[in-house]
Every structure is written in structure tokens, then in C-alpha cells.
Amino acid sequence: MADFEYDIIVVGAGHAGCEAASAAARMGSRTLLITMDMNTIGQMSCNPAVGGIAKGQIVREIDALGGQMGIVTDRSAIQFRMLNLSKGPAMWSPRSQSDRKQFIQQWIKRLTTTDNLYIWQDEVVHLLIDNQSNSSSSDANHPTVSGVVTRLGVQFKARAVILTNGTFLSGLLHFGRTQLPGGRIAEKASIGLTEQLVTLGFAAHRMKTGTPARLDKRSIDFSAMQEQQGDNTEQKFSFLPSVRRELKQMSCYITYTNPDTHAILRRGLPDSPLYNGQIQSIGPRYCPSIETKIVTFADKDQHQLFLEPEGVDSNEYYVNGFSSSMPWQIQLEALHSVRGLEHCVMYRPGYAIEYDYFDPTQLHATLETKLVHNLFFAGQINGTTGYEEAAGQGIIAGINAHQSINGGRPLVLSRDESYIGVLIDDLTHKGVDEPYRMFTSRAEYRILLRQDNADERLTTLSYDLGLADAERYGLYTAKQDAKQRISTHLQSTSSATPACRALLEQQGYAASSAHGSLSEMLMRPNITLRDIIAIDSALQTLIGTLPDRQNEIIDSVEIDIKYSGYIARERMAADKLHRLDAIKIPADFRYNELQSLSTEARQKLTALQPKTIGDASRIPGVSPNDISVLLVLMGR
């Protein structure tokens, strides 16, 4: 540490911080990652799993951009499943159980071997602010961040700072009526930053999340539960062929609560922080605690629980579905009433945690704050929840911090380019009133945003920025070339052959319908590309020349052809949105003087100051009629 000056400082080494620091350093910025404990870098604070509905798409997007989460997850995976396979490919979502210790070790290995990246173990308690702005933008009167001060009194200078503090800002843990300050169990809270940010004009609020008890594997009767194995495939998150799942694969187990469980939990409600007034902040609606479930769904006799392994060499099991802040005695008694857990031994109880976050409408789409130049926020500090949402913000913040201090073009992903784009657009335009979690339903262009085509959407963008390396880009272009050769063969080859007629009859179609190209034949519901490959020797030869990603390429070609009509329709809708995004609104536009706008629209537009008509159209409370008024005033 001979030098205390850096290009970028990242505060916090959770999922957002790890991706931010890694991206900034690999793009060429001298980067310092500050964490309170180097042994918990990339810690999975809650369940030992990555991905899931919509979240899996985000992880594949991070990987396509050249990020690390997909690689770390694959190399620590102990179970992989592709969810929603009974639905269309827009809904397919990868999910992986991880070995918690291996996940951390993989992150530590990647960060400590990254050029330009340095790590300092300490707590940041204060930001250094230069009141002389270096910006030439319309808000140039705002101050600029210039570094940080740590608990040890060390001063580090930087041209940009990224805050990724997770649940540590003024964190408070709840175990029944017992309260302990902390960011996670046995880890202290971070005090000081919130107070300083509020004095700078930031609006701070509180949120709540929770986690369940951890149990000793040796005390669980798995024979009384339903086993849930992973997929017997080589599927994974990373698009890189060199990254493989190598750890022993393990099963999860399913059991259920019952009326006795619910009776015990109801008896503990007077001591529940959620119901005795102790917790006032808002928790995640879609991932409720077990006490919330028995109150909200009082008519249900049972709730499903998943017993998830914490690792290959660990006896620890995570009880997914039993998040609780009840007194530990009630938690243990209730668990003992569950089939298979009658004699379970608890390593530690569940708990709730309250923490500070900041209104994300105070951010630009780059995740730079509007009030302080070159200060970026990413992760739960923005009101989100989930490892994947945090990591997606982290990589964008890391990229844009590097671009900002080097005068480069910022990366702002649109809603039709990525789930990460949907996430950030929602945060910066709509704000949050509960912990934000990504769902496929939040994306209006989800047929465009499939997990299988993340590389096609994002790798070229990242390569042009200098993050995705030549190896990744070469693999991407090779895949695209292979897809093009297969598609060309399908489009130029007739289906009017005896083999095609036999295949059609086998699938219930009239043999006389064998006309047109193989591509047209593939669009029939019961015909797959593998069916066609089996009867086409020329196509078999072509497939045999492909690299070792044959299944990935075959699936991608089939989806593109079968869903081509839906894809084209969504692309047309997305292009309309881009036309609105191209219409700029003057920075000094006076909405309050326009009586033709609704009162709510005037208030929202004045507060958020959208830069384009497209931005304005996505603000809650701004109606289509308000947009029409603005279009007229813009001369459109």
C-alpha cells in the first residue's frame, strides 16, 4: 500500500461490489475494493443458490458482458436445474445450488489474481467530497466525490467511488424481542455513511429482509421427505466452454409444515417483531416469513419447505421457506413438528434484519448519483434484494465508473436489451416501495430477453467497451457463424422428401403437407430440429463440424425459427419505444407551467426530470395523454 490514490474505490465486497471492482479493474482502472472481512467476500448471506425465475437470465447477461458471477457459480455448483421447461423458452430460467465456501473461494481467487485490483480490509465511515465539480453537465454545481476515510483513519483518494453496502448500513438484527446491531449475524453494522449522505441531500429509508434457521444434516430424516435431484445435463451459466461444473452433485429435499406447526407459530406471534410493532420497515412481499404466511394465508393447512445443502463438505442445511424472526425457541419447536425434522438440531436460528437504503430515483441510468458526481450506488443500497439483482447493478456501475473518469461512452441498457436494463430502468424511473425483485412479468419484451441469447444481446457491446475479452468474443462470433450456416441450410433445403413425409406422418401430420423448406417444417409444434437432423445426412455432417457447444447452438437455432413471428412482433414494439427515447426534452423544461398536463404528471416530471419522451412515458402517474401533450410541444 505504498500509494493511497486510486482511480475507483468500491465499498463492500458482496455480489454488487465484487462485480463492480472486477469490471472496473479489467477495463484498466486502478481499483481498490474495501471490505470489512476478506473471508466473507462474495458471501451468500441467505440461501446457497444463484438464479431462478428471471434471476437466471440476469446471471447469463452478467456472463455475456464479461462478468464473473456465472463462472463462480458454475465452479461452485452442486446442483443445476432449468426451471419452467414446460413453458416457452422465454420463461426458461437456470438455477444452481452452490457450495457456499467454494463460492467465496472462487470469488477470492478471481479478485486476488485480477490486474489493477487491490483489496483493503477496513470499514468506510466517511466520503471525501470536493465541492468544486469537475462536471460540464447541466448539474455541474453539484459536488464531486474524491475518496473515502476508513474506521482505521486511513484516507484513500479516488476519482470515483461505488457504494455497495448491502444490508450493513445501520443494520439491526431481530431475534424475537432481542435486537442486535449488525449487517449479518456475527458481523457488525456500518455506521456513519447514511448520516453523511442525508446531509448531502439524499433521501434515506429503511427496509427489512430475513433468513431461516440452519440445521445439522445428521439430525434430519431425509427418508421422510421427497428427494429433488438436479438435471442430468451439462447445462450451466457461463457461455465459456472452458468453465464446467466439477463438484459432486447433491439433492435437495421437500417437506411441508402442518396444522401443528402453524399452531406453534401462532402462539409465538406476540413475540414476533413483525407483529408486535418492533419492525416498521417493509419486507419482501414475494418471499414472506413463515409467520407472515400463516397470517396472510390462514386457510392453508401446509406450506412447502426445501432443505438445501450448504456444500459438499458441510453438514449445514438451509430451510428454504421458513424465514423467521420469531424467538429461537418457537422456531425450533415449530421445526420439530415438521415431518423429517422431528429431531433436528439447529446450528443457528433465523432472524430479520433492518437496514438503510436510498431512493433509487436519485440515480441516473448509469447508476451515478444525481447529487454527487462520480459517486455510484449498486445493490441493496438501491432498494433491491437478491444476489443476482445486486451483481447486475454492480457490473453496470463498475463499467460506468470507469467510463466516467476516462471520458468514455456510458453503458445504458434498454428494456429490450436485457433484464438488467429493465431492473435499472424500473429503479431510476419508478423507485421502490418494497424490496425490488426481478420477475419475468416485469419485462414487456421477454421473448427477446431469453436466457439462451444473452450473448447475442450483450457480448458485442461489452467487447467494444473493452470488458469482454477476445476469447469470449471469438467464441461468440464462432457460434453466430455456426447458427447462420445451419439456418441457411434449413431455409434452402426442401422438405418434400420421403424422409420428411415419414417424419410428418409419425408426428400426426398428412404426408402430403411435406412442401416448402425444412425451416418451414421446423415451425410445426411437434417437429424439433433434432428430428430433422436425424433424417438429414448433410445437416449431420454440418453439425459434426461445430465446436463442442452443439446442444447450445441447436437449441438457439430452433428457438429463433420456431418463435420468429413472436420475436418480430416484439421487436416492432421495442422499436416504437426507441423512437420515443430519441426525442430529447430540454434540461430546463418547465412542466409546472403546462396546465394541459395532469397535476400528478407535473409533479412527477418536475421531480424526476426525464431526459427523453421515452423516459417520461415510463414514469408512474404520467398517462398516455400526458405523453401526447409533450409530443405536440416537442413538435412531433
Give the integer Cα–Cα distance in Å for 515 and 531.
Answer: 17
Span 373-389, mean pLDDT?
98
Residues 195 and 334 in one domain: no
Q: Which domain CATH number covers 88?
A: 3.50.50.60
Q: Cβ distance 602 to 549 under 8 Å?
A: no
Residue ending a domain, choose from 321, 348, 375: 348
In a domain, 334, yes or no: yes
Residue 133 has pLDDT above 70, yes or no: no
Same domain for 134 and 251, yes or no, is no
Identify whether residues 444 and 518 lie together within a single domain: no
Decide if 607 is inside a domain.
yes
One DSSP character per residue, 543-585 reads HHTS-S-HHHHHHHHHHHHHTHHHHHHHHHHHHHHHHHHTSB-
600: domain CATH number is 1.10.150.570
Is 560 found in the same domain as 590?
Answer: no
Is residue 520, in this structure, part of any structural domain at all? yes
pLDDT of residue 18: 98
What range defines the domain where residue 419 resides?
A: 5-211+355-465
Q: Are residues 396 and 302 in the same domain?
A: no
The domain that holds 237 is classified in CATH as 2.40.30.260
Does 82 share its domain with 178? yes
Q: What is the mean pLDDT of the chain?
A: 94
What pLDDT is recorded for position 285? 84
Please tell me whether residues 298 and 343 are part of one structural domain. Answer: yes
Instruction: Determine contact, residues 76/49, Cβ cutoff 8 Å.
Output: no
pLDDT higher than 90, residue 284: no
| Residue 2 reports pLDDT greater than 50 | no
Range of weakest confidence among 86-90, 210-214, 301-305? 86-90
User: Among 539, 568, 597, where does a domain finish?
Assistant: 568
Same domain, 396 and 475: no
Cα distance between the two ends of the chain: 57
Same domain, 331 and 422: no
pLDDT value of residue 134: 59
Same-domain pairing of 170 and 37: yes
CB neighbourhood size of 248 (10 A): 10
CA dist 402 and 66 (Å) reads 15
Residue 577 lies in a domain: no
Taking 90 as the threshold, does the pLDDT of residue 514 lie above it?
Answer: no
Specify the pLDDT at position 635.
75
> pLDDT per residue over 242-273, tens digit each?
999 999 999 999 999 999 999 999 999 999 99
Residue 6 reports pLDDT greater than 50: yes
Give the per-residue pLDDT at 366. Answer: 98
State the pLDDT at residue 548: 72
Answer yes or no: is 576 within a domain: no
Distance CA 25, CA 42 (A): 17
Half-sphere exposure of residue 166: CA atoms within 13 angstroms, side-chain side = 33
0.85 cut: is pTM over it? yes
Number of domains in the chain: 4
